[in-house]
Amino acid sequence: MIYSKIAGTGRYLPERIMTNADLEKIVDTSDEWIRTRTGVERRHVATEDQLTSDLCVEAAKNAIEDAGITAEDIDLIVVGTTSPDLIFPNIATIIQEKLGIHGCPAFSIEAACTGFIYALTTTDKFIRAGETKCALVIGAEIITKLIDWTDRTTCVLFGDGAGAVIVKPADEPGIISTHLGADGKYKELLYYPVGVSKDLYKAGVGDSRIIMSGNEVFKVAVKTLGNVATIALEANGIDKDDLDWLIPHQANLRIIQATAKRLGLPMEKVIVTVQDHGNTSAASVPMALDVAVRDGRIKRGQLILMEAFGGGFTWGSVLMRF
């Protein structure tokens, strides 16, 4: 039996940091409101000429170094993102070229904030099928370029970044289970109103914005993230107390706290980065993983549950022994 295992992690955040105080100068908001409602204190924001693939390449280099491999070893690239450089070619091929790799399959997956979990789940199938020996999996966004900076209800929430992992085959898990889900009936609660086949050429630069019913998203997010975790634990006969770490999608500290409470998990076992990163959508889980691996909290052999929830709605989990 072939399993897959994360062999290395990496992340990259744009240099430019925007604090809540910076946002106070742009919209009618306050540091106090943003902290108490969301937990966000600062976020990284890409410059105009920075591309999502630029962030991905730096995160990938860090993961490659951490895994002790070279770029030439990579035989699959899967990227979860909602903010690719171009409509086509897909961003994974652009990253492939920038890393100097040629020939291996490279594709992207769009599942909003769940993009990385979808990408890692897909990669796990490739590895288990024996088709892949060394995969680069990335979750990345420059979501701030989709933001209306005059809309205080959304502009305070988001940030940019990229998280990457190297995944290799192993004799033992590694990835123990993956669970994905989606329900398109929730589309109206969270979406971006312009796309290739919808109004792309009618839209002027900057006249579109993320449409979000914050309260409703909040409620469904808490319920779903709790259910997703329970499904993963029950499917494997694992008690919540056996978990070393929960790495939830970093949308809002209150969503994370409510999810932990629903699960009966102490916050000491939850990795939280939303204060420093904001909501980085598909990048949030792999960046949080890398933060906790590099600061020494997450150690080899520990049991980790990663989970995410995003527009669609989409959701998913990966349970793994690191």
Helices (H), the chain: 20-24, 31-38, 52-67, 91-98, 115-128, 152-155, 214-235, 253-263, 274-277, 284-294
- Asked if 173 and 115 count as a contact pair (C-beta separation under 8 A), the reply is no
Q: Does residue 145 bind ligand ACO (CB under 6 A)?
A: no
Determine the interface stretch with ligand ACO among 77-85, 101-109, 179-187, 248-256 (rule: CB under 6 A).
248-256
From the candidates 56, 113, 134, 155, give the one annotated as an active-site residue.
113
Quick one: which of 45, 106, 137, 157 contacts ligand ACO (CB under 6 A)? Answer: 157
Q: Does residue 163 bind ligand ACO (CB under 6 A)?
A: no
Q: Does residue 247 bind ligand ACO (CB under 6 A)?
A: no
Q: Does residue 181 bind ligand ACO (CB under 6 A)?
A: no
> CB under 8 Å to 174, separation ≥6 — which residues?
3, 4, 5, 6, 320, 321
Quick one: which of 164, 251, 287, 293 contacts ligand ACO (CB under 6 A)? Answer: 251
Quick one: which of 61, 128, 133, 152 contacts ligand ACO (CB under 6 A)? Answer: 152
How much of the chain is in helix, strand and coil states, percent to nearest 5?
A: 40, 25, 35
Is 102 annotated as catalytic?
no
Per-residue string for binding with ligand ACO, 16-35, x by CB under 6 A? -------------x---x--
Per-residue string for binding with ligand ACO, 200-239, x by CB under 6 A? ------------x-xx-xx--x------------------
- HSE-up of 239 (CA within 13 Å, CB side)? 2
| H/E stretch holding 247 | strand 245-248
Is 227 annotated as catalytic?
no
- Asked if 116 and 308 count as a contact pair (C-beta separation under 8 A), the reply is yes
d(CA 196, CA 145): 17
Q: Does residue 176 bind ligand ACO (CB under 6 A)?
A: no
Task: Tell the smallest beta-carbon distance from residue 262 to ligand ACO (Å).
Answer: 15
d(CA 294, CA 282): 20
Q: Does residue 274 bind ligand ACO (CB under 6 A)?
A: no
Q: Does residue 314 bind ligand ACO (CB under 6 A)?
A: no
Task: Tell the smallest beta-carbon distance from residue 155 to ligand ACO (Å).
Answer: 7
Q: Does residue 309 bind ligand ACO (CB under 6 A)?
A: yes
Task: Tell the smallest beta-carbon distance from residue 151 to ligand ACO (Å).
Answer: 9
Task: Tell the smallest beta-carbon distance from residue 141 to ligand ACO (Å).
Answer: 11
Task: Tell the smallest beta-carbon distance from residue 190 to ligand ACO (Å).
Answer: 5
201: three-class secondary structure by DSSP = coil
- What 124-128 contacts at long range (C-beta under 8 Å, 24+ apart), as own/partner pairs, is 124/4, 124/167, 124/175, 124/178, 124/318, 126/76, 127/2, 127/3, 127/4, 127/167, 127/168, 127/169, 128/2, 128/3, 128/4
Q: Does residue 156 bind ligand ACO (CB under 6 A)?
A: yes
Is 20 annotated as catalytic?
no
d(CA 175, CA 244): 15
Chain centre distance of CA 78: 13
Give how many residues touch ligand ACO by CB under 6 A: 22
Q: Does residue 113 bind ligand ACO (CB under 6 A)?
A: yes
Burial zone of 255 (CB within 10 Å; 0-12 exposed, 13-18 middle, 19+ buried): buried
Applying CB under 6 A, which residues contact ligand ACO? Answer: 29, 33, 37-38, 113, 152-153, 156-157, 190, 212, 214-215, 217-218, 221, 249, 251-252, 279, 309-310
Kindly list the catalytic residues.
Answer: 113, 249, 279
